[in-house]
Chain A
Amino acid sequence: AQSVTQLGSHVSVSEGALVLLRCNYSSSVPPYLFWYVQYPNQGLQLLLKYTSAATLVKGINGFEAEFKKSETSFHLTKPSAHMSDAAEYFCAVSDGGGTSYGKLTFGQGTILTVHP
């Protein structure tokens, strides 16, 4: 069984500060990992994904994430927060095959607040 744990349900940063959203996963097979963002009353939008190529993944809007197998982590970072980054962020894992058909298992989400 797969699971995802996002440490911190709320993260607050100042505009221009580093954003760090934490994600740890559990998977019995090599995982595919994703970060999605959700703005109020909207669906989820993919920020970036790890698919066993480069361990440092760059996504949209200046976000990036690093896959660390030894730590079973896939933390999301952005060097300088912008007001428009305020949203809820979800980490998700797919086991990449077998009978899962690519279904995603999500963490509980982290709400990012950006202060002026």
Chain B
Amino acid sequence: DTGVSQNPRHKITKRGQNVTFRCDPISEHNRLYWYRQTLGQGPEFLTYFQNEAQLEKSRLLSDRFSAERPKGSFSTLEIQRTEQGDSAMYLCASSARGSSYNEQFFGPGTRLTVL
């Protein structure tokens, strides 16, 4: 399978702990997006990478959140000092270089539960 993969699929943590999620995009895709989806809502944009450069961050991405894509391939999203409000599904998507109407391919998501 050559789709977008995300690990772990589920993460349960205690408030105040740090967590890190990984996204492996489709290999030839240079664009990578992170979204957050809470229960009953549509996904909300968090941040965007073009190759290794982080070009846009949402105001939703507080100082406790950091994302990297060090070699322009996989990406990590870290949440420090987790809060219960961070509980959500974190989705990663990738798309090919070119027009912004290129399809974004989504991974299965990482479901975070903060106790």
Q: Do A and B come from one complex?
A: yes
A interface list, Cβ under 8 A from B: 4, 9, 32, 36, 41-46, 49, 51, 90, 92, 94-97, 99-109
In which size bucket is the chain B interface?
Answer: 20 to 34
B interface list, Cβ under 8 A from A: 4, 31, 33, 35, 40-45, 48, 50, 55-56, 91, 93, 95, 99-109
Q: Are A103 and B56 within 8 A (Cβ)?
A: yes
- What residue of chain B has the Cβ atom nearest to residue A50's Cβ? B101
Q: Are A45 and B45 within 8 A (Cβ)?
A: no
Q: Are B101 and A94 within 8 A (Cβ)?
A: yes
- The DSSP consensus for interface residues of chain A is loop
| Contact A45/B106 with A103-B45, A103-B48, A107-B42 known, Cβ cut-off 8 Å | yes
Partner of B102, one of A90, A102, A103: A102
Could you show 8 A-B contacts with beta carbons less than 8 Å apart?
A9-B40, A32-B101, A43-B107, A44-B106, A46-B105, A100-B56, A102-B95, A104-B45
Partner of A41, one of B45, B100, B102, B108: B108
Residues from chain B with a CB closer than 8 A to the CB of A94 are 100-101
Q: How far is the CB of A100 from chain B (nearest CB, A)?
A: 7
- What residue of chain B has the Cβ atom nearest to residue A103's Cβ? B45
Most buried by A among B4, B43, B44: B43
Partner of A44, one of B40, B43, B48, B56: B43
Residues from chain A with a CB closer than 8 A to the CB of B95 are 102
Residues from chain B with a CB closer than 8 A to the CB of A41 are 108
A4–B45 Cα gap in the complex (Å)? 14
| Contact A97/B100 with A90-B42, A108-B42, A109-B42 known, Cβ cut-off 8 Å | yes
